[in-house]
Amino acid sequence: MRVQIALISAVALLAACSNPDNKTKTEGDGAAAPAAPAAATMPAPKPGLWQQTISGGAMPAPTTVKMCVGPTVEGENPFSAPQPGVACSENSVKAAPGGAEFHSVCNAQGMTVTSDGKVSGNMDSAYKIDITTKTAGPNVPPQMAEMKMTIDATRLGDCPAGTAPGAVVQ
């Protein structure tokens, strides 16, 4: 169960698609996170309430979460937004045929997480992310060393009143 919670947290971190503080600095060290070049045609999810079904990795069954997604901050990777306590030395997204590709290398709690993913679909209504995550560091369980996951996201509508971007909704 602990691995599943950690995995959901990691996936939520990777797929948060918003930066509620609109900051480009990580919280822990004050260093600026590298930003991807802005592109007018860069796909990004439409702000609102998105249901994300996460499958693969170390999870025994698909897990569904509902998350409030805020507007994309120009120059940031909307598929791997900066998070408190996480320092990313690389965090880029680029347009690709049918969607986008992203790459990030982040450090948190003594672990290095490298993620590569492809995004496809309609960013106004439904999209899919195929992601490979490699985790290195002390005490990394074997099932988390390298994981392939899929996130299927469907926009449900506007976020509930008063819900901050990045918040998980019950």
Q: What is the pLDDT of residue 28?
A: 35
Q: How many domains does the chain have?
A: 1
Categorize the per-residue pLDDT at 36 as very low, low, confident or very high, splitting at 50, 70 and 90: very low
Residue 113: pLDDT above 50? yes
Selection from 84, 82, 55, 53 nearest residue 67 by Cα: 53
Q: What is the pLDDT of residue 166?
A: 83
Q: How far apart are CA 57 and CA 71, in angstroms?
A: 28
Q: Which residues constitute the domain of residue 21?
A: 2-169
What average pLDDT does range 59-83 have in this prediction?
Answer: 79
What average pLDDT does range 136-157 have in this prediction?
Answer: 92
